[in-house]
Structure 1
Amino acid sequence: MRIRLLHILLFSVSLSLFGQRKDENNVIKTDTIASNKNYQLIAIPIAFYTPETDFGFGGGGQLFFLSEKNRYKNRLSNILFSGIYTLNEQIILEVTPQVYLGSGDYFIDAHYLLEVYPNLFWGIGNNTPDANEEVYNQTTHALNIAFLKRLPSNLNFGFQFTYKNHEVTEVESNGLLDTGSITGSNSAIIVGLGAVFNYDTRDNTGSPNKGYYYQAKAQFASKILGSSNQFNKFILDLREYLPVGKKSLLAFQLYSESNFGDVPFQALASYGGGNRARGYFFGRFLDKNMYVSQTEYRWRFKPRWTINAFALAGEVAEKPEDFFNIKNIKSSLGLGVRFKIFKDKDTWLRFDYGQGVQGNSGIYFGINEAF
């Protein structure tokens, strides 16, 4: 999603604003709305900035179940909920339960989303001109539920159910979406099942200092399940974090996505955004296939300050064989600054600027690393 960084941002900002202390079980505590030995409920303010939303703000909360802990990663079962309004007149409501069962041997990862979202569309393809830009409004209800089983060390495997209802409520007259020739231009219902496999040795998820993260997903949307379109999606996400001396590291990511079948534009691979292709508006380029490769150097010149420099390249295409034409590659260079919020916790404020080609650029403010 456009602002997936919120799942990290919510909890981190709440800690920084409400103060913190630790109890004997190493559970971080804040000023709470309600708490007892079995649960803790905290209130959370939210603030962020992305090119897709402009400034966003709102509030929410996080309910921790103190007795349901993952013994492998020392993480608690919790339910995160938020309501957000942006200066681009977007409304976003989210509920994210994350539940560990069997002391971490099983994991339920769910997410419900309601978006009332004015957005931009340039068409489909790797070379859509800026002149194509048009505004459309869309209301989305989305539900994802994944059930994962821990396998031998650092491996996880499971299944995922996906439901998304995209209702396009307004388009520009005589625009591309108004013609009705774009699949999903009126609405799209996506219902499907999928499989997830990952290998994760990172020391932490928000700002890793070392380790590997390899994930593969296969998702299948079917009319038999109620989907308006039938298609398959395959995602590969490979990340490595290699220390360089005591104060710096190199981070690498290769992300690829492939779609096959009758794919609505809402489900196409989307190039851009604050995580995979900084310097480009999320969804500036859309198509069935996409790859992004990015490298980032991170230098911690002081214990709580880091400077980052990144470079990336990628593109979208209808067919994989259309990749790697040097004229079509969308590259970006950028710089960033990080500040560690707590001395003893790897949670970082992030500010990035990315400069792409053909006048594309973006400023990003949020929490933790892009990948």
Structure 2
Amino acid sequence: MLVPIRFNLLCLVSVLLLTCIILPHVSFAQISDTSAVPEKDIWDIFKSDKELKLETRDSSKKVHKVFLPVVSYNPSTGFEFGVLNNTAFYLGDHLTTRLSVVNVRLSYTTNKQFFSYIRSNIITDNNRLNFTGDWRWYISSQPTFGLGTQTNAQDDINLDYSLLRFYENVVVRLAGPFYAGAGLYIDKYYNIADHGTAEDPYQQYAEKYGFDPSEYNSNGLGLTLQVDSRDNTINAYKGIYASLGQRFYMKGLGGSSNWSQFLAEFRAYQRLSRNAHRRLAFWVYANLIISGTAPYMSLPAIGWDTYSNAGRGYEQGRFRGKQLVYAETEYRFPIVNSGLLGGVMFVNATTASNDDGSVKLFNTIRPGYGAGLRIKLNKLSRTNITVDYGRGQQNSSGIYFNVQEAF
């Protein structure tokens, strides 16, 4: 039974990869826009017709701030409650400079977990410099299932941990959409408590490779090459984003081991209507440990990308391995002509390796799928409130709340 499923999903991933490669050179037949209804966001509901007519759409000098409550659910957190701040602004002429965005989130869950983060994408005048930050403090827990995508949901073992993360990357515009840069990446995992036995995968991994199972650090430097022609970093209507990077984690920087990581990512956006309210979005990335040995929690895993969006349909960390490849495609469409309400449908696939168990990439591929609602929070910055429901194999499911698109 696994053979045809594996074959079909491998074909799906191959099609996604080929589509991303040829997409910039293909012209799609566009669906005609049937209405010239002005675009609206949630705040327009409370404005009079006179106020809407007088409203200026020049957002080049505005700072768009939004505070929202957070309510979401997935199996690893239970119900999550908190607050999220989304701030978007321009640091240059809005005709030649992409929008900068900062997200701040504080939340607490019914599983007694605390999450806080600051994630930023700061773009200077004429897109000359791009600073990307990912700062986190977690007091949390999550189940671990072992390595590779062949693992079973019933084999979960709960792992308590705290995390301090400081990632800061800067790229410089070389010419056109081409960028190059470097970054600093620091992770400190501490207060780790494994609720399994000495025979479970986490303890066996720590013993085999000589890690203290209660705490470890991954500290490194990295180099990045990028191509970024997106028209908007929050909600792209067109363009591509491609990135190649290598990170070098070292004991000399305070890390627990020496190892290196290769990352490759590609995103593309294709309009299906002239106003881009109907469009396809594609996302493929690879996260590969290419030398040395990384601590267990530093191994590539779904849900541990910058915005924690990979693997909708599964809980964070459900699939983990020395190498991981992920692909997703999403159809985005309006529910009302003004763009106030929209929807998405998505499908994704994950594969991860387990070298200790002789499980290679693409031996097992796990699919996910789902749909979501989009509520226009700010029409000028294109910011949406996103609420998604995803499902995966082995009765896995989750509800995901965010401000900003999944990719």
Scaled to the shorter chain, the TM-score interval is 0.7 to 0.9
**Hey, what's the Cα distance between the residues in 1 that align with 2:63 and 2:128?**
25
AA at the equivalent of 1:324: F
What are the equivalent positions in structure 2 for 1:85-104 lying under 5 Å apart? 85-96=108-119, 104=127
Task: Pick one of 199, 211, 216 that aligns with 1:188.
Answer: 216
Shift of residue 283, structure 1, vs aligned partner: 0.9
SS of equivalent to 2:297 = helix
Q: Which stretch of the first structure deviates more once superposed, 337-346 or 143-152?
A: 337-346
- After superposition, the Cα gap between the structure-2 partners of 1:22 and 1:322, relative to the gap in structure 1 and judged at 3 Å, is same
For the pair 1:249 / 2:279, whether they are aligned, the reply is yes
Do the aligned partners of 1:113 and 1:141 also contact (CA within 8 Å) in 2? yes
- After superposition, the Cα gap between the structure-2 partners of 1:351 and 1:321, relative to the gap in structure 1 and judged at 3 Å, is same
Which residue in the other structure is 2:255 paired with? Answer: 227
Which residue in the other structure is 2:35 paired with? Answer: none
Do the aligned partners of 2:142 and 2:316 also contact (CA within 8 Å) in 1? no
AA at the equivalent of 1:53: T
Shift of residue 222, structure 1, vs aligned partner: 1.2
Shift of residue 73, structure 1, vs aligned partner: 2.0
- After superposition, the Cα gap between the structure-2 partners of 1:74 and 1:178, relative to the gap in structure 1 and judged at 3 Å, is closer
Q: Which whole-Å deviations, capped at 9, do the CAs of 1:157-202 have from their partners, x for residues lacking one?
A: 1100111111143221526245543755322211110012221112
Which residue in the other structure is 2:8 paired with? Answer: none
Do the aligned partners of 2:267 and 2:282 also contact (CA within 8 Å) in 1? yes
SS of equivalent to 1:302 = coil
- After superposition, the Cα gap between the structure-2 partners of 1:95 and 1:207, relative to the gap in structure 1 and judged at 3 Å, is closer
RMSD: 3.4
Which residue in the other structure is 1:350 paired with? Answer: 386
**Hey, what's the Cα distance between the residues in 2 that align with 1:62 and 1:251?**
22
Which residue in the other structure is 1:210 paired with? Answer: 238
**Hey, what's the Cα distance between the residues in 1 that align with 2:85 and 2:333?**
33
Shift of residue 288, structure 1, vs aligned partner: 0.7
**Hey, what's the Cα distance between the residues in 2 that align with 1:204 and 1:63?**
14
Q: Which stretch of the first structure deviates more once superposed, 107-116 or 187-196?
A: 107-116
**Hey, what's the Cα distance between the residues in 2 that align with 1:141 and 1:62?**
22
Task: Pick one of 82, 96, 116 that aligns with 1:58.
Answer: 82
SS of equivalent to 2:233 = coil
SS of equivalent to 2:151 = coil
Number of paired residues?
Answer: 344
SS of equivalent to 1:277 = coil
**Hey, what's the Cα distance between the residues in 1 that align with 2:186 and 2:43?**
33
Do the aligned partners of 1:48 and 1:56 also contact (CA within 8 Å) in 2? yes
Which residue in the other structure is 1:280 paired with? Answer: 314
Structure 1 or 2: more helix by fraction = 2
For the pair 1:262 / 2:290, whether they are aligned, the reply is no
Q: Which stretch of the first structure deviates more once superposed, 121-130 or 47-56?
A: 47-56
Shift of residue 55, structure 1, vs aligned partner: 3.4
AA at the equivalent of 2:131: I
Which residue in the other structure is 1:129 paired with? Answer: 152
- After superposition, the Cα gap between the structure-2 partners of 1:69 and 1:88, relative to the gap in structure 1 and judged at 3 Å, is farther
Q: Which whole-Å deviations, capped at 9, do the CAs of 1:203-259 have from their partners, x for residues lacking one?
A: 212222221111112111012222111111111111111112345222222111111
Structure 1 or 2: more strand by fraction = 1
- After superposition, the Cα gap between the structure-2 partners of 1:225 and 1:22, relative to the gap in structure 1 and judged at 3 Å, is farther
AA at the equivalent of 2:373: V
**Hey, what's the Cα distance between the residues in 2 that align with 1:15 and 1:227?**
47
SS of equivalent to 2:222 = strand
**Hey, what's the Cα distance between the residues in 2 that align with 1:128 and 1:317?**
11
Stretches of structure 2 lacking an aligned partner (at least 5 in a row): 1-40
SS of equivalent to 1:151 = strand
Q: Which whole-Å deviations, capped at 9, do the CAs of 1:14-66 have from their partners, x for residues lacking one?
A: 98999998697633357xxxxxxxxxxx6834414242433333347678998
TM-score normalized with structure 1 length: 0.80
Paired-residue identity, %: 23
**Greater RCO (Cα-Cα under 8 Å, separation 6 or more):** 2
Q: Which whole-Å deviations, capped at 9, do the CAs of 1:304-349 have from their partners, x for residues lacking one?
A: 2323222222210136992333xx2111222222222234441112
Shift of residue 154, structure 1, vs aligned partner: 1.8
AA at the equivalent of 2:231: D
Do the aligned partners of 1:351 and 1:364 also contact (CA within 8 Å) in 2? yes
SS of equivalent to 1:322 = coil
**Hey, what's the Cα distance between the residues in 2 that align with 1:357 and 1:22?**
48
**Hey, what's the Cα distance between the residues in 2 that align with 1:182 and 1:16?**
59
Do the aligned partners of 1:191 and 1:222 also contact (CA within 8 Å) in 2? yes
For the pair 1:336 / 2:372, whether they are aligned, the reply is yes
AA at the equivalent of 2:106: G
AA at the equivalent of 1:346: R
Do the aligned partners of 2:369 and 2:391 also contact (CA within 8 Å) in 1? yes
